[in-house]
Amino acid sequence: MKTLDQIISERRSVRAFDKDRPVPEEHIRAIVEAARLAPSACNSQTWRFIAVTRSEVIEKICKTAMRPVIPNKWLSQAPLLMVGCARLDIVANRIGARVTGTEYYQIDMGIAMEHMVLKATELGLGTCWIGWFAEEKVKAILDIPRGVKVPALLAVGYPADAAPAGRSRKSMEKILFSETWGNPFTFSE
Stretch that binds ligand FMN, among 33-41, 92-100, 130-138, 172-180 (CB under 6 A): 130-138
The correct pick among 12, 36, 48, 137 for binding ligand FMN (CB under 6 A) is 12
Q: How many CB atoms lie within 10 A of CB 32?
A: 18
Residue 130 lies near ligand FMN (rule: CB under 6 A):
yes
Residue 13 lies near ligand FMN (rule: CB under 6 A):
yes
The correct pick among 70, 95, 140, 172 for binding ligand FMN (CB under 6 A) is 70
CA torsion through residues 92, 97, 103, 108, sign: negative
Q: Min. distance of Cβ 153 from ligand FMN in angstroms?
A: 8
Q: Min. distance of Cβ 25 from ligand FMN in angstroms?
A: 26
Separation CA 34–CA 118 (nearest Å): 9
- Nearer to ligand FMN by Cβ, of 76 and 92: the residue is 76
β-sheet bridge partners, residue 91:
none
Q: Which of 105, 132, 175, 142 is nearest to 13 (CA)?
A: 132
Pick out residues in 156-175 that bind ligand FMN (CB under 6 A): 166-167
The correct pick among 128, 138, 154, 156 for binding ligand FMN (CB under 6 A) is 128
Quickly list DSSP for 29-66: HHHHHHHHTS--GGG---EEEEEE--HHHHHHHHHHSB
For residue 25, what are the contacts with CB-CB under 8 A and spacing of at least 6? none
Q: C-alpha angle with apex 51: 145 to 163, nearest 5 degrees?
A: 130
The correct pick among 131, 136, 173, 177 for binding ligand FMN (CB under 6 A) is 131
Residue 71 lies near ligand FMN (rule: CB under 6 A):
no
- Nearer to ligand FMN by Cβ, of 68 and 145: the residue is 68
Burial bucket for residue 55 (CB in 10 Å: 0-12, 13-18, 19+):
middle
Q: Which positions lie near ligand FMN, rule CB under 6 A?
A: 12-13, 15, 70, 72, 128-132, 152, 166-167
